[in-house]
């Protein structure tokens, strides 16, 4: 830099300086590009690596976690690890593997307040509100509950069983006389702690924790569930509810609550024998008559 100030070789010095600068800029720029691209590929986490409770969504997490390991240190169960170079998790960031070291869902969540940056959100104070991931019964072919055997281990170890995971009783089609006790996970309560995955008695767990974005589907933003909207509004939002009407002959009604066709005693022809019923049916033998009858009435 300084040699460009001397008079005579100024242009030469400046030339050299410009070339050197260009060289440096190119080199550093390429390196930056490399790091940028690497960061993009390194940001896709292995699906089995789960972030500690309270972790911000992945993009914000990678913007804020300093990789200090304070959360790792303050976890009394020692489940958290900092990713090593070359792991399928961004270098230095904390994660746990549910199958071997699930989160024990400490009531005071000691891993969170110690995080200096808020990469683990300090606003999370109730561990039941944590959403580290979501348990999914991924394999209904090997889960022995689906085979008709009694297991329910995942259900029993769940700290919030009954809410996060319930048992659904279904008919065992194979034996014809037994029940299946099917574990069902509910995303509105499951924290993704992974205790169920560790407990699964199979060689390879049939219930696994996945990061939310892998475990959950998402309705299109434009979807409105009519029945929910109706409940919210206290009535139909489109046209007033129409009672469904059937084109039934005189003296016959239809009961929605289960009874089905009802023949009013007075008008309905008595049905003594099946034969008589067949002959004295109120329906015309020509179905068109019934249809037309409806139209005529409407007129």
Partner 1 sequence: MARYTVLGAEAIRKKGWWQAHKWLILRRLSQIGILLLFMLGPWAGIWILKGNLSSSLLFDVVPMTDPFVFLQMLATGYSTIATEAITGALIILAFYLLFGGRLFCSWVCPVNLVTDAAFWLRRRLGIKTGANFLRNTKYWMLGMVLLVAAVSGVMAYELVNPVSMLHRGIIFGMGVGWLVIAGIFLFDLFVAKRGWCTNLCPMGAFYGLLGKVSPIRVRADDRSKCDDCAECFVVCPEPQIIPAILKGEEKGIPPVILSGECTNCGRCIDICGEDVFHFGLRFDQSKAALSKQEMNAAALKQQ
Site string for ligand SF4, 210-249 (x = CB under 6 A): ----------------------------------------
Helix (H) / strand (E) containing 137: strand 134-137
Query: Cα 36 vs. chain centroid, distance in angstroms?
Result: 30
Question: Using CB under 8 A, which of the segments 16-24, 146-154, 206-214, 258-266 binds partner 1?
Answer: 16-24
C-beta of 166: minimal distance to ligand SF4 in Å?
A: 10
According to DSSP, residue 235 is labeled S
50 Cβ neighbours under 8 A, 6+ residues apart: 95, 96, 97, 98, 103, 132, 133, 192, 194, 209, 211
The residue count for binding ligand SF4 (CB under 6 A) is 44
- Decide if residue 164 touches ligand SF4 (CB under 6 A): yes
Contact residue for partner 1 among 3, 10, 21, 214 (CB under 8 A): 21
Are 261 and 252 in contact by the 8 Å Cβ rule? The answer is: yes
Q: Which is nearer to partner 1, 31 or 147 (CB)?
A: 31
Site string for ligand SF4, 80-119 (x = CB under 6 A): x-------------x--------xxxx--xxx--xxxx-x
C-beta of 240: minimal distance to ligand SF4 in Å?
A: 43
- Decide if residue 151 touches ligand SF4 (CB under 6 A): no
Alpha helices in the chain (DSSP H): 10-42, 58-64, 70-74, 153-157, 195-199, 212-215, 226-233, 274-279, 287-298
3-state SS string for 164-187: CEEEEEEECCCCCCCEEEEEEECC
- Decide if residue 66 touches ligand SF4 (CB under 6 A): yes
Residue 256, CB-side half-sphere exposure with 13 Å CA sphere? 4
C-beta of 34: minimal distance to ligand SF4 in Å?
A: 19
Could you write out the DSSP letters of every residue in 85-123? TTSSS-TT-EEEETTTS-----TT-TTTTT-SSSSB-TT
Q: How far apart are CA 30 and CA 22, in angstroms?
A: 12
The residue count for binding partner 1 (CB under 8 A) is 45
- Decide if residue 35 touches partner 1 (CB under 8 A): yes
Q: How far apart are CA 278 and CA 263, in angstroms?
A: 14
Contact residue for partner 1 among 3, 9, 24, 46 (CB under 8 A): 24
The binding site for partner 1 (CB under 8 A) comprises: 1, 20-21, 23-25, 27-29, 31-32, 35-36, 38-40, 42-43, 59-60, 62-70, 72-73, 81-82, 84-86, 90-92, 114-118, 122
The binding site for ligand SF4 (CB under 6 A) comprises: 52-53, 65-71, 75-77, 79-80, 94, 103-106, 109-111, 114-117, 119-120, 127, 135, 157-158, 160, 164-165, 185, 190-196, 209
């Amino acid at each position: 830099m300084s040699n460009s100030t001397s008079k005579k070789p100024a242009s030469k010095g400046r030339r050299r300086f410009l070339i050197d600068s260009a060289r440096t800029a190119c080199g550093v720029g390429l390196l930056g590009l490399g790091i940028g691209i690497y960061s993009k590929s390194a940001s896709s986490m292995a699906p089995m690596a789960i972030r500690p409770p309270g972790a911000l969504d992945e993009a914000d997490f990678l913007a804020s976690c300093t990789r200090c390991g304070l959360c790792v240190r303050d976890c009394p169960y020692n489940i958290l690890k900092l990713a090593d170079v070359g792991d399928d998790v961004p270098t230095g960031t904390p994660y746990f593997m549910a199958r071997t070291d699930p989160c024990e869902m400490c009531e005071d969540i000691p891993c969170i307040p110690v995080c200096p940056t808020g990469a683990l959100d300090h606003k999370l104070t109730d561990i039941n509100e944590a959403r580290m991931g979501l348990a999914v019964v991924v394999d209904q072919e090997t889960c022995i509950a689906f085979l008709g055997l009694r297991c329910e281990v995942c259900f029993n170890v769940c700290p919030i069983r009954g809410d996060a995971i319930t048992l659904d009783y279904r008919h065992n089609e194979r034996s014809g006389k037994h029940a299946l006790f099917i574990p069902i996970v509910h995303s509105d309560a499951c924290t993704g702690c992974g205790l169920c995955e560790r407990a699964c008695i199979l060689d390879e767990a049939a219930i696994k924790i996945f990061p939310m974005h892998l475990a959950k589907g998402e309705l299109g933003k434009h979807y409105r569930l009519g029945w929910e909207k109706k409940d919210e509004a206290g009535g139909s939002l489109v046209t007033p509810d129409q009672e469904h009407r059937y084109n039934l002959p005189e003296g016959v009604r239809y009961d929605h609550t289960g009874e089905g066709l009802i023949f009013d005693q007075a008008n309905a022809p008595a049905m003594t024998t099946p034969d008589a019923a067949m002959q004295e049916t109120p329906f015309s033998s020509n179905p068109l008559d019934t249809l037309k009858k409806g139209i005529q009435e409407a007129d």
